[in-house]
Chains A and B, each alone.
Chain A
Amino acid sequence: MTAIDLFVSPLGRVEGDLDVRVTIEDGVVTSAWTEAAMFRGFEIILRGKDPQAGLIVTPRICGICGGSHLYKSAYALDVAWRTHLPPNATLIRNICQACETLQSIPRYFYALFAIDLTNKNYANSPLYEEAVRRFAPYTGESYARGVTLSNKPVEVYAIFGGQWPHSSFMVPGGVMCAPTLSDVTRSIAILEHWKNEWLEKQWLGCSIERWLENRTWEDVLAWVDENESQHNSDLGFFIRYALDIGLDKYGAGVGNYIASGTYFEPSKYENPTIEGRNAALIGRSGVYAGGQWFEFDQSRIREDVTHSFYEGDRPLHPFEGETRPIDPERGRAQGKYSWAKAPRYDVPGMGYIPLETGPLARRIAAGAPNAEPHQDQDPLFVDILDKIGPSVLVRQLARVHEAPKYYQWVRNWLDRIDLHEPFYTKPVEHPSGKGFGSTEAARGALSDWIVIEDGKIANYQVITPTAWNIGPRDRDEVPGPIEKAMVGTPIKDPEDPVELGHVARSFDSCLVCTVHAYDGRTGRELSSFVINGMV
């Protein structure tokens, strides 16, 4: 047996920086610890501020999903102030949130994920040269077009919100804009261009309708070989290459999932409440654990700080949540190792457990039975999970599957805007109240809890998808989802552990974090051999 402590710092391209330390035994990762390494204190800044401060501050938590932050912070205020939302406002919010995700899918795939597919570790693959031709940074044919065209969907965001990233145009009671005819027609034309030039021509090699006919894993495999165009599209090629280099073999994770859902059917959410939220969703919420579906219930969420650099002695619901940082040096002496808190969910019969969030979680939620007519019902990924189990490949497929789906939804919402009806209902600014707002950023469930007292923010807590996924161990020493997903990863070349990059990046996390790994069998840190840095 050879045991190696491997330290990788930084591991970039995760919308931040990631340090990785793993222990490898016989060429396989046995245990991992994740560490978020940067603290800004947004929840502390928000305390005592204007109730609407979250509309300006929370988008700046993350620049790639700032529109998602805005979306959920607006809904948190809608709930707290008991507003009325005109249907037009819900449509515009849906459109913009979805356009941010449409931007994220190709930008993430080419710029952050796919360039690792050109790593020399794969030079023996018969498809390697083709991968380099397509995905090499800056010069790859697909890279250049995919990254460049990813700016198109957010042009639509700018038409309604003024700019992307970092607008604050969604406000309690609706949106600030009142689009005109050409705003809508231009949006349609921009999306049509993006669909023609990238989504269908380059990515799918077929119509979006054809791709969305796929209901099973066998359908997907048959689709790849159906014709030259699909076989040679970026997606067709990616599936073939991923299977060749084994991306379907590792990175499974905890196998339990949470989606808070997003996009509302306008007529079902004119008066936003916590209780009415699940039924009004188009992209469904849900928890899938132990092979069973459960209804999403925000009251079952707790944040544990046992291993996080914060004061606190018990898991708290975000309405009671605290953010009291401590010097990491002092924290380490207490066994703490991350700036991320560890979110946990009380699954009936299973207790508080870590859950993976993101596109795969959304696709599993969409496979649950008994959808309402306005809701997403899509069996594909439940089938894929049954047939081949979760992996880096399946997580990627789930993400890119949303591009054609959301495109259709956005076109439908654009068609439903009534330019002669209102986009805003002025709310009463109640001096006190509690609100919960949530959405699905490209990378997963993103939620705010706000408590307003005496006309100012008494408490504000945010749980990001990155916290769900990269969060550290909890009081029971149960690892977080990425920590778990790292385990079992085969490392071909410890000098260049590209496989760790695949796993970390398959979660598309957006925070500076570190992964440490120790001997899975003894729990002790191994140091028989150290490369790539200072352990």
Chain B
Amino acid sequence: MSSVLWLQGGACSGNTMSFLNAEEPNVVDLITDFGLDLLWHPSLGMELGEHAQKIFRDCAEGRRPLDIFVFEGTVIQGPDGTGRYDMFAERPMKDWVADLAKAAQIVVAIGDCACWGGIPATEPNPSGSTGLQFHKRERGGFLGPDFRSKMGLPVINIPGCPAHPDWITQVIVALASGRAGDIALDELHRPQTFFKTFTQTGCTRVQFFEYKQATPSFGDGTRTGCLFYEFGCRGPMTHSPCNRILWNRQSSKTRAGMPCIGCTEPEFPFFDLAPGTVFKTQKVSGTIPKEIPEGTDHLTYMAHAAAAQIAAPQWSKEDMFVV
């Protein structure tokens, strides 16, 4: 039996909505089969007002054991560090977060906002938003770089905008089935089992990438080619299992013809959405992608690309995803 309290700060509820899409286990299975005791959740909790506040206070003050504190959304610190831009149950939400994070065995940040600030923290960050233990790529965030939960762990980051439901349900099942020790984190506190691979891993366009064949245009053009060259796809530079663990059990953005926008990485939204950066590959000298796959350099990339284009078979220049 794990007790879970889930709260939302500067949030859109997108991670909750994504969570409700889960199957195997779905949200009902988690509670009835895996012993999840969901103490309260903004969309699912039964209690109102004082009854709900009592749960928060009892957890914060240690009268009620809190195994997992899940936080969705940014920690809002504005205006001027007061947190008054986000009031919850009579206090700035940031004060609840500070108390509950201290009381929990494990603290989980779900979604980009809670991990690193996400879209609300985009320049000029009007609400003074930050993540639980990171601000963008910088360590610290709201709780500080040295924060450890009662179990001695840093905040576990499950990023994504939103996070895929399996990225959290499988962690909960791992905890419930005695495999907490198998959850290894990367340097950004993400579970490696999900975030070591690239978004591109398993992408249906990877053969076009191999032969450096670009998608010519959105729409009918997405039946062929790779979105990396013209449409700013960040699949080769982004860590996620989006093409291994499909979305809604059906597809992924890149499979459906939408460039990856890198939403599991701390810099999302990239380039602060400056004019000319949305759905457009940033280039040097007009042709060479400014950012290239992780671990390569421009010289080797160009040599590889030239050879690949020469080697490209005819089928790689035609439609593959046809009626």
Min Cβ gap B211→A in Å is: 20
Stretch at the interface among B80-88, B99-107, B171-179, B284-292: B80-88
A147 to B27, Cβ gap below 8 A? yes
| A424 interfacial contact with B, CB 8 Å | yes
A528 and B22 CA atoms in complex are apart in Å by 48
| B297 interfacial contact with A, CB 8 Å | no
A49-80 near B? 1/0 per residue, CB < 8 Å: 11111011100111110100000000000000
A60-B119, A138-B28 known; A176+B126 contact, CB < 8 A: no
A162 to B120, Cβ gap below 8 A? no
| B322 interfacial contact with A, CB 8 Å | yes
Instruction: List B contacts of A426 (CB < 8 A).
Output: 217-218
* Secondary structure type dominating chain B contacts: loop
Instruction: List A contacts of B17 (CB < 8 A).
Output: 63-64, 165
Closest to B165 in A: A151
B21-57 near A? 1/0 per residue, CB < 8 Å: 1110011100110000000111111111110110000
A49 to B273, Cβ gap below 8 A? yes
B252 to A61, Cβ gap below 8 A? no
A37 to B251, Cβ gap below 8 A? no
| B269 interfacial contact with A, CB 8 Å | yes
A432 and B315 CA atoms in complex are apart in Å by 41
A159-B250, A162-B251 known; A151+B258 contact, CB < 8 A: no
B50-85 near A? 1/0 per residue, CB < 8 Å: 101100000000000000000000101011101011
Instruction: List B contacts of A61 (CB < 8 A).
Output: 12
B258 to A176, Cβ gap below 8 A? yes
Interface residues on B, range: 35 or more
A14-59 CB contacts (< 8 Å) to partner B: 15-17, 19-20, 37-42, 44-45, 48-53, 55-57
A157-168 near B? 1/0 per residue, CB < 8 Å: 111111111111
A52 and B278 CA atoms in complex are apart in Å by 6
B46 to A169, Cβ gap below 8 A? no
Closest to B161 in A: A166
A12 to B48, Cβ gap below 8 A? yes
A419-437 CB contacts (< 8 Å) to partner B: 419-420, 422-426
A7 to B86, Cβ gap below 8 A? no
Closest to B259 in A: A176
Instruction: List A contacts of B264 (CB < 8 A).
Output: none
Min Cβ gap B11→A in Å is: 8
Min Cβ gap B240→A in Å is: 11
A501 to B48, Cβ gap below 8 A? yes
A164 to B21, Cβ gap below 8 A? yes
Instruction: List A contacts of B181 (CB < 8 A).
Output: none
B101-149 CB contacts (< 8 Å) to partner A: 118-120, 122-124, 126-127, 129
A175-225 CB contacts (< 8 Å) to partner B: 175-178, 180-181, 186
B273 to A50, Cβ gap below 8 A? yes
Min Cβ gap A55→B in Å is: 7
A8 to B48, Cβ gap below 8 A? yes
Min Cβ gap A203→B in Å is: 18
In-complex Cβ contact of A13 among B32, B42, B246, B269 (8 A): B42
A162 to B252, Cβ gap below 8 A? yes
A93-107 CB contacts (< 8 Å) to partner B: 107
| B256 interfacial contact with A, CB 8 Å | yes
Min Cβ gap B322→A in Å is: 7
A15-B13, A148-B28, A180-B323 known; A45+B124 contact, CB < 8 A: yes
A168 to B261, Cβ gap below 8 A? yes
| A532 interfacial contact with B, CB 8 Å | yes
A175 and B87 CA atoms in complex are apart in Å by 39
In-complex Cβ contact of B88 among A63, A162, A425, A512 (8 A): A512
A291 and B43 CA atoms in complex are apart in Å by 36
Closest to A148 in B: B26
B88 to A37, Cβ gap below 8 A? yes
Instruction: List A contacts of B8 (CB < 8 A).
Output: 16-17
| A91 interfacial contact with B, CB 8 Å | no
Instruction: List B contacts of A60 (CB < 8 A).
Output: 12, 14, 118-119, 161
A180 to B321, Cβ gap below 8 A? yes
Stretch at the interface among A324-332, A343-351, A392-400, A402-410: A324-332
Instruction: List B contacts of A174 (CB < 8 A).
Output: 218-219
B218 to A63, Cβ gap below 8 A? no
| B253 interfacial contact with A, CB 8 Å | yes
Interface residues on A, range: 35 or more
A174 and B258 CA atoms in complex are apart in Å by 12
Which of A143, A165, A174: most chain B Cβ within 10 A? A165
A128-163 near B? 1/0 per residue, CB < 8 Å: 000000000111000110011011001101111111
B256 to A115, Cβ gap below 8 A? no
A57-B269, A66-B14 known; A176+B42 contact, CB < 8 A: no
| A10 interfacial contact with B, CB 8 Å | yes
A10 to B277, Cβ gap below 8 A? no
Closest to B56 in A: A10
In-complex Cβ contact of A162 among B90, B129, B256 (8 A): B256
| A533 interfacial contact with B, CB 8 Å | yes
Instruction: List B contacts of A176 (CB < 8 A).
Output: 218-219, 222, 256-258
A147 and B93 CA atoms in complex are apart in Å by 29
| B186 interfacial contact with A, CB 8 Å | no
In-complex Cβ contact of B274 among A49, A419, A425 (8 A): A49
| A456 interfacial contact with B, CB 8 Å | yes
Which of A15, A40, A107: most chain B Cβ within 10 A? A40
A63-B13, A167-B258, A424-B218 known; A10+B278 contact, CB < 8 A: no
Min Cβ gap B76→A in Å is: 7
B28 to A41, Cβ gap below 8 A? no
B48 to A533, Cβ gap below 8 A? no
In-complex Cβ contact of A38 among B10, B41, B269 (8 A): B10
Min Cβ gap B210→A in Å is: 21
A13-B44, A39-B85, A45-B120 known; A151+B261 contact, CB < 8 A: no
Min Cβ gap A91→B in Å is: 13
A166 and B219 CA atoms in complex are apart in Å by 19
| A496 interfacial contact with B, CB 8 Å | yes
| A9 interfacial contact with B, CB 8 Å | yes
| B205 interfacial contact with A, CB 8 Å | no
A40 to B10, Cβ gap below 8 A? yes
B28 to A154, Cβ gap below 8 A? no
A162 to B253, Cβ gap below 8 A? yes
B86 to A38, Cβ gap below 8 A? yes
A56 and B32 CA atoms in complex are apart in Å by 36
| B281 interfacial contact with A, CB 8 Å | no
A12-B42, A148-B28 known; A161+B256 contact, CB < 8 A: yes
B124 to A178, Cβ gap below 8 A? no
A424 to B220, Cβ gap below 8 A? yes
Instruction: List A contacts of B322 (CB < 8 A).
Output: 180
A325 to B126, Cβ gap below 8 A? yes
A160 to B256, Cβ gap below 8 A? yes
Instruction: List B contacts of A144 (CB < 8 A).
Output: 28
> With contacts A37-B87, A147-B27 known, what are 5 further pairs, Cβ within 8 A?
A19-B90, A45-B120, A63-B16, A115-B46, A426-B218
Q: List 21 A-B contacts (CB under 8 A).
A: A8-B50, A9-B53, A10-B49, A17-B42, A40-B10, A40-B126, A50-B273, A50-B276, A57-B273, A60-B119, A62-B13, A147-B20, A147-B26, A147-B28, A151-B23, A158-B248, A169-B256, A176-B222, A424-B221, A532-B49, A534-B90
Question: Could you tell me which B residues sit within 8 Å of A by CB distance?
Answer: 8-18, 20-23, 26-28, 31-32, 40-50, 52-53, 74, 76, 78-80, 82, 84-90, 93, 118-120, 122-124, 126-127, 129, 161-162, 217-223, 242, 246-258, 261, 263, 269, 272-279, 321-323
The 4 closest A-B pairs by CB, nearest first: A424-B219, A63-B14, A41-B126, A162-B253
